[in-house]
Amino acid sequence: MNRTTRKITYCGLLLAMAVALSALENALPGFVTVPGVKLGLSNIVTMYAVFFMGAPYALVLAVLKSGFVLLTRGATASMLSVAGGLFSVGMMLLANRLKASETMTSIVGAISHNFAQLLVAWSFLRSIAVLYYAPVLLLSGIVMGLLTALLLRTVLPALRRIGIKPDEGGDKP
C-alpha cells in the first residue's frame, strides 16, 4: 500500500476512533459539572493527526468530526465544533512547528478550541455576558489540555501495537 493510501486509511480509522471516544465521553456520567466543560477525548485523535500525519489530515479530521456533531447534535453544535476544531488544529500545528512540547501543544489546542467556541457563541448571542465565561474556559483548557496530552502519551503504545505508527522522520517521535 502506498504512503497516501495508508494515510487515508489511517485517517478513516482515526475518525472512527474519534467518533467512538466522543460517544464514550457522552455516555459517561459527567465528572465535570461546569457547563460547557468537557474532557474532549476525541481531541486525543486530533492531536495524534497533528503530530504524526500533518496539516491536511488533521484539518480534514477536524471537519469530519464536526460532520459527526452535525448528525448527532445539530447545526449550532456543529458550527461550534468546526470553529473550535479548525482553530485548535491551526494553533496546534503552529505550536508543533515552533517545537513546543506535546503537553504545551495540547494545552494550546484546548484553550484555542474553547475560545473559538466562545467567540462563535458571542456572535450568536451578541451579549458581552458570554465573554465573562472566558476565565472558566481558560482554566478548563489548561486542565483538559494536560489530561488529553497524558492520555495521548498513554495510548500511543497501544496504537503502535495495532499497527498505527507515526511515519519515520515525523515532527515528533
Per-run averaged pLDDT (10 residues), the chain, 173 residues: 81 91 81 73 90 90 93 92 96 95 95 95 91 92 94 84 57 38
Residue 83's pLDDT is 96
Is 151 within the bounds of a domain?
yes
Residue 160's pLDDT is 74
Is 173 within the bounds of a domain?
no
Q: Which long-range contacts (CB under 8 A, 24 or more apart) does 102-106 make?
A: 102/47, 102/51, 102/149, 102/152, 102/153, 102/172, 103/145, 103/146, 103/149, 103/150, 105/47, 105/50, 105/51, 105/149, 106/43, 106/47, 106/145, 106/146, 106/148, 106/149, 106/152
Is 23 within the bounds of a domain?
yes
Domain containing residue 156: CATH number: 1.10.1760.20
Tell me how far apart the alpha carbons of residues 44 and 18 are, in angstroms, rounded to a whole number. Answer: 8
Residue 172's pLDDT is 41
Is 169 within the bounds of a domain?
no
Residue 164's pLDDT is 63
Number of structural domains (the chain) is 1
Is 172 within the bounds of a domain?
no
Is 114 within the bounds of a domain?
yes
**What's the domain range around 125?**
3-161
pTM score, whole prediction:
0.86
Is 168 within the bounds of a domain?
no
Is 42 within the bounds of a domain?
yes
Tell me how far apart the alpha carbons of residues 152 and 20 are, in angstroms, rounded to a whole number. Answer: 15
